[in-house]
Amino acid sequence: MLKRFFSAVSRTVSAVLLVAASAGAVADVRIEQAWLRAVPPVSPSMAGYFVLVNDTDEPVVLTGARAEFAGMAMLHDTSTDGEGRRSMSHLKEVTIPAGESLAFTPGGRHLMLMKMDPVPEAGETPKVCLAFQNHADLCGAFQVRHNEP
């Protein structure tokens, strides 16, 4: 009785492991840890962050972004000089080498959404899509939140 129970458990565990292993083995490009910083509804813009994982054998070139609720979406970089001054610049393209990942984090690279209608609220998970030079668009649910996950 106990033996049968354990063998059932072990079969289940193996099956789960197998599924997990095969899911991990699929070579792909994916968006992880995607979120948007919650801002007041009268805000003209909001920033988004994510990690882009390139599990393929080829470099991918990220070129832009779009979202239905935003009239304009861009990739930006924030740089800080030696005196603590920050400035933003437009990232026209970013290459993620094969097998690597690239993080967009507060105070650094970020997704910049403008001309929003409506401005998504904390708790919502609007869809944002990333565009590439050599890969199909990737879309993901970006969680709107007040603080970094």
Please identify which residue in the block is written with the tokens 């998970």. 125
List the interface residues with another protein, window 25-54 (CB under 8 A). 33, 37-47, 49, 51
Are the CB atoms for 67 and 141 separated by under 8 Å?
no
Asked if 66 is part of the footprint of Cu ion (rule: CB under 5 A), the reply reads no
Residue 108 touches which of another protein, Cu ion, none (Cβ within 5-8 Å per kind): another protein
Which of 38, 112, 138, 144: binder of Cu ion (CB under 5 A)? 112
Q: How far is the CB of 77 from Cu ion (least distance, A)?
A: 8
What are the tokens at 4? 């049968």
**Nearest by Cα to 48 from 89, 109, 96, 93:** 109
By the rule CB under 8 A, 105 interacts with another protein = yes
Could you say which of 9, 13, 17, 88 contacts Cu ion (CB under 5 A)?
Answer: 88
Decide if 78 contacts 50 (C-beta within 8 A).
no
CA pair distance 120, 143, nearest whole angstrom = 10
Tell me the closest approach of the beta carbon of residue 75 to another protein, in angstroms. Answer: 10
